[in-house]
Chain A
Amino acid sequence: MRSSLVALALAAGAALAQDAALEKRVMGLAHELRCLVCQNQTIADSSAPLAVDLRNQIREQLARGASEREVREFMVARYGDFVLYKPPLKATTLALWFGPFLLLAAGALLLWRRLARRRAPAPPLSEAERARAARLLE
């Protein structure tokens, strides 16, 4: 009797631990996916009905044994790349990924040229300029 109770408790504990692990994976994925209704929230943060549905969908698929990648593909097939908070690297997103670095490099180049010019010593004055400066200073 007692041993069967212990077994039951152990089984319940294992199930709970499994649930917690599943929930962690669900939330991990939910943090990567955009809620399309609210757009600036992940479906983990949003309480919009669609976000709730999508979280349930993720949970169901993971519980069924789907991988994170498969769930991501499921979402992209329906809602497009926009659903991913981290957009994939491809031809149409090159500017998105590398544009900021390009701008940074252009800014650095501009700054460097400017500083280089400032560092260069001023050209010496000609005789005429010298005389004019002396006149002005008197």
Chain B
Amino acid sequence: MRLAWVLAAFAALVGLLAAGLTRNPREVPSPLIGKPAPAFQLPQLHAPEKRFAQKDMLGKAWVLNVWASWCPPCLVEHPVVTALAKSGLAPVVGLNYKDRREDALPWLKRNGDPYQLSVADADGRIAMDYGVYGVPETYVIDRRGTIRYKHIGPLTPEVVRDKVEPLLKELARAL
């Protein structure tokens, strides 16, 4: 009887720790989900004399992808971002984070440019408003300008298939 108690307590502990192991401590839940996307107006990477603001996208769902030429995981996720942009589900806008134009433009030329456009956040100030702490990060923003989803780290085909695409389809239906 006593042995049963000890075993039960041990099993409970194992269960708790096993559940803890399946969670990724790097994925901090963003407090920004369900909140309006922080306002910004930044120079465009390709045409610095032109500016782009988050409110230019009001009326359609879109994807904001934070990337940098100095960030290896960004290169890893690049084919996935490219596929997502090609699917035509939603425009993908790049936020070029703490990068230099002379590095960023060749990077896009080398690896392909899936973005409708990229904006340059040279000092990372706007990224701070979005709670970015590790590039790459990806946001899905609905047509009202509300952040609906955030993914930290490189996008994987699974995340796109299971999370991003269903959400974008749902947002398109809601129109």
**With A49-B98, A53-B124 in contact, is A78–B131 under 8 Å at CB?**
yes
A41 adjacent to chain B (CB < 8 Å): no
Contacts of A37 in B (CB 8 A): 133-134
Which of A35-91 touch B at CB < 8 Å?
Answer: 36-37, 39, 49-50, 53-54, 57, 76-82
Among candidates B26, B29, B98, B129, residue contacting A78 with C-beta atoms closer than 8 Å? B129
Interface of A is mostly: helix
Contacts A36-B28, A79-B28, A79-B133 supplied; 4 other A-B pairs, CB < 8 Å: A78-B130, A80-B29, A80-B131, A82-B29
Which of B48-64 touch A at CB < 8 Å?
Answer: none
- Check if A50 sits within 8 Å of B31, measured CB to CB: no
- Check if B28 sits within 8 Å of A82, measured CB to CB: yes
Interface of B is mostly: loop
Which of A79-109 touch B at CB < 8 Å?
Answer: 79-82
A-B CB contacts (within 8 Å), total count? 34
Q: What is the bound-complex CA distance between A78 and B30, given in angstroms?
A: 7
| A-B pairs with lowest CB-CB distance, top 8 | A36-B133, A78-B131, A80-B31, A82-B28, A79-B131, A50-B133, A37-B133, A80-B28
Q: What is the bound-complex CA distance between A77 and B25, given in angstroms?
A: 19
**With A36-B133, A37-B133, A49-B98 in contact, is A78–B28 under 8 Å at CB?**
no
- Check if B133 sits within 8 Å of A76, measured CB to CB: no
- Check if A77 sits within 8 Å of B31, measured CB to CB: yes
Q: What is the bound-complex CA distance between A135 and B133, given in angstroms?
A: 79
Query: Which residues does A use to contact B, with CB under 8 Å?
Result: 36-37, 39, 49-50, 53-54, 57, 76-82
- Check if A57 sits within 8 Å of B28, measured CB to CB: no
- Check if A80 sits within 8 Å of B30, measured CB to CB: yes
Least CB distance from A77 to B in Å reads 6
Q: What is the bound-complex CA distance between A57 and B129, given in angstroms?
A: 11
Contacts of A80 in B (CB 8 A): 28-31, 131
Which of B63-83 touch A at CB < 8 Å?
Answer: none
- Check if B25 sits within 8 Å of A76, measured CB to CB: no
Contacts of A36 in B (CB 8 A): 28, 133-134
Least CB distance from B27 to A in Å reads 10
Contacts of B32 in A (CB 8 A): 78
B174 adjacent to chain A (CB < 8 Å): no
B128 adjacent to chain A (CB < 8 Å): yes
Contacts of B129 in A (CB 8 A): 78
Listed residue (B28, B32, B128, B133) with the most chain A CB atoms within 10 angstroms of its CB: B133
Listed residue (B25, B29, B130, B131) with the most chain A CB atoms within 10 angstroms of its CB: B131
